[in-house]
Structure 1
Amino acid sequence: MNNTTDVLIIGGGIMGLTSAWRLAQAGVKVTLFESRSCGSGASSAALGALWPASSLVNAPLQNLHRKSLWEFEAFTKELADFSGKPVPFMRRGRVELLNSDKAKAHGEQEAAAACANWPQLSAGPAMEVLSAEELRRQFPEINVSPFGGQVCHRSAQVAVDGLLAALIEACRKAGVVLKENCAVQQLQGDGGSITGAMAGGEVYAAGAVLVAAGVHSNHLGFELRQRAPIKPVKGQALLLKTAEPLIHKIVKNGLIFLVPWPDGRVLVGSTTEPDAGFDSSNTVEGVSFLLNGAVQTCPGLASARLERTWAGLRPTGPNKKPVLGPMPNKRGLYVAGGHFKVGIGMAPMTGKLMAQMITTGKVPGEAMPFVPAAAEAALLA
């Protein structure tokens, strides 16, 4: 058995799969290990809402996230063509309900900046603020506040199950060796470099190792825990189903957001529970919060069928920023993870950047704020 590969990837979620596909497209021999089935972890718990960060914030993370979102439609088309599997994607926009005069003024500032600076991905303005009266006219199914709402026409949504299925198939077609239900026990190497990993009692040699194991990344060694700390933040969600679709855009109301699909399904999210540790169970409190918020936002959902509840553990880096790039003082070891709530949206750029860093050995400027050394510095600040 040949246990040698160019790049060994640990983790078969959205980051591991996207990075594996991009590396394989560049002619790199890739072997990916997943302790369960690919796409079964935090990635599968995501709701697929793709909305850009505030147009008034131009920090490195927000800029990179928006860049990734602007590429997302082309990414899904390329992926669908390559894999032969559909990747349902819709740019139907998002309505955010405003709760004060201050929020309305801020929303108008955001709308002006978005219209001035964002690309023209669809017809009409990138963003606008509507009065309560206009909002009720356009969206009679929503319980509108007196302050109206902000409509972001650049927001989109992707079916996460379809996205993951297409990535798995794309990896196979590109020649990636997928080793599912095969956990990596430990990394292999000497003091200054990583040369592979042990999995299933066998040693696999590799020119580079990419750790993309989400909340389990830090289990692979002290240096990962110290320089690339990724912690779980639990999020609960649920799925409702109506006979006919009630809403046609993503709706955000405070901490509640609704992601509707044309067949009457409505995904409802989400809680944010940083102290839950590795507990991924649903709670009465969490489900009640989501149900009450959904019905308060869209009263017609009171008669919807509750089809499913679930919870996921969001991999979260220091200061809720991802960790991307080479580990300092460990030649051949790379990390990609900790994206918190923007992992699905960041997948196109993360896969591209990780493939670029591993094949060239150089860190692009837009990735510099997220390298492990920067993450360690953030902890010490």
Structure 2
Amino acid sequence: MVTRNSSDVIVVGAGVVGAACAYYAAGAGLRVTVIDRGPVAGGTTGAGEGNLLVSDKGPGPELELAIVSSELWAELAALLPPEVEYEPKGGLVVASGEDGMAALRDFAVRQRQAGVTAEEVPADRLHDREPHLAPGLAGGFHYPEDAQVMPALVAAHLLRAGGDRVCLRLGEEVTGLLTGANGEVRGVRTSSGEVRAPYVVNAAGTWGGELARLAGVELPVLPRRGFVLVTEPLPRVVRHKVYAADYVADVASGSAALQTSPVVEGTRAGPVLIGASRERVGFDRTLSTEALQRLAAGATALFPVLAGVRVMRTYAGFRPYLPDHLPAIGPDPRLPGLVHACGHEGAGIGLAPATGLIVARCLTGGDPPLDTRPFRPERFASASP
């Protein structure tokens, strides 16, 4: 059993990525302490829509991570309680014109070559998938492997599933790392005292760069703000996650300016979730009227029926952005014992299981489920001033 002040590994961050790291580490027989300065899912996870997507990722390392995670999510869904609302409802990407449809076809060809199922939906069959879609769209692609969960509940249940091998310490801020005579990790210092372990996992999300600096290493994680509109509960007027073709380009963009593209999805509970916006404004939570107006206009352009629906609330969250749009996962050679699991931007919920499994394999000497070299944390060192 884990004691309050010592364990085999400390995971900093109780969001879904940290919870997945703890779950798989505990499953490998390790004693885990999870520390967070706030509550479970109090950061990016709690502000997420719960998307588990392969549809928005082109061939490459992130898609490989997403494919592994998609398989793991199906396994987890059979183990976790139904309250986590795992729903393999699929995604639908639509194009307004022929140029957009041609781009979607090219994208789908490359995704299929990487192992993703992508089914073309001609314009005259779109309403079979989504009866309330706007008329006049050029067509789209259906991605049956896309799914959704309730992210905060997933994080909580993954931590609970770790059993007595997981000790949860909430409301404690990590203020420093403890090191040994040879500079190796020996634990962390928190607002409540010292916690000892030979490994520390940086799953601090948007604050991953701050934790890295406490450890004396550079990891350029920046917050990328986004807003979500939540409607009143409705009958199931939106069956899939539906988004416009330009969403993929926005995800891949490194621009700091405000970008919006319509993303609309229904939930089992009834409300429709409307996104997506992206901008780099630090940790500024000020409500952006422009962003909200753009989101509403984009959603009603896709689903005119939403024009008469009330928005009950809106919330902001911060995606942990890294310049090459790939997370940092794995041991940091600059500080023995430090392992990173952060920088997933808006895909952290979907990529959490594969990330957690990789971290657990790193900690126990096992083989990772895929090539982790593209995610190595030190890859930004040469770009540092």
TM-score greater than 0.5 by the shorter chain: yes
Q: SS in structure 1 opposite 2:7?
A: strand
Bigger shift: 107-116 or 186-195? 107-116
**Which residue identity lines up with residue 194 of structure 1 in the other structure?**
V
Aligned mates of 1:141, 1:8 — CA distance in 2: 48
1:167 and 2:158 matched: yes
1:176 and 2:166 matched: yes
Aligned mates of 1:202, 1:46 — CA distance in 2: 31
Confirm or deny: 8 A CA contact 1:48 1:344 kept in the other structure. yes
Counting matched residue pairs gives 367
Match of 2:149 in 1: 158
Confirm or deny: 8 A CA contact 1:7 1:31 kept in the other structure. yes
The offset of 1:161, in angstroms, is 3.0
Sequence identity (%): 27
The offset of 1:85, in angstroms, is 6.0
Q: For 1:132-281, what aligned pairs fall within 5 Å after superposition?
A: 132-171=123-162, 173-190=163-180, 192-222=183-213, 226-253=217-244, 254=246, 255-274=261-280, 276-281=281-286
Aligned mates of 1:290, 1:267 — CA distance in 2: 10
Over the aligned positions, Cα root-mean-square deviation in angstroms equals 2.5
1:308 and 2:305 matched: no
The offset of 1:221, in angstroms, is 5.0
The offset of 1:29, in angstroms, is 1.1
**Which residue identity lines up with residue 162 of structure 1 in the other structure?**
L
Confirm or deny: 8 A CA contact 2:70 2:145 kept in the other structure. no
Aligned mates of 2:240, 2:107 — CA distance in 1: 19
Bigger shift: 234-243 or 110-119? 110-119
The offset of 1:51, in angstroms, is 2.2
Q: SS in structure 2 opposite 1:246?
A: coil
Confirm or deny: 8 A CA contact 2:21 2:357 kept in the other structure. yes
Aligned mates of 1:200, 1:113 — CA distance in 2: 49
**Which residue identity lines up with residue 149 of structure 2 in the other structure?**
V
1:62 and 2:63 matched: yes
Aligned mates of 2:56, 2:104 — CA distance in 1: 9
Question: Any stretches of 5+ residues in structure 2 without a counterpart?
Answer: 247-260
Cα distance change of structure 1 residues 359 and 272 upon mapping to structure 2, 3 Å threshold: same
Cα distance change of structure 1 residues 165 and 32 upon mapping to structure 2, 3 Å threshold: closer
Aligned mates of 1:252, 1:364 — CA distance in 2: 30
Q: SS in structure 1 opposite 2:160?
A: helix
Match of 2:363 in 1: 358
Aligned mates of 1:142, 1:60 — CA distance in 2: 33
Aligned mates of 1:345, 1:62 — CA distance in 2: 11
The offset of 1:185, in angstroms, is 0.9
Confirm or deny: 8 A CA contact 2:129 2:239 kept in the other structure. no
Cα distance change of structure 1 residues 308 and 5 upon mapping to structure 2, 3 Å threshold: same
Match of 1:123 in 2: none
Q: SS in structure 2 opposite 1:134?
A: helix
Q: TM-score, normalised by structure 1?
A: 0.88
Q: TM-score, normalised by structure 2?
A: 0.87
Bigger shift: 109-118 or 226-235? 109-118
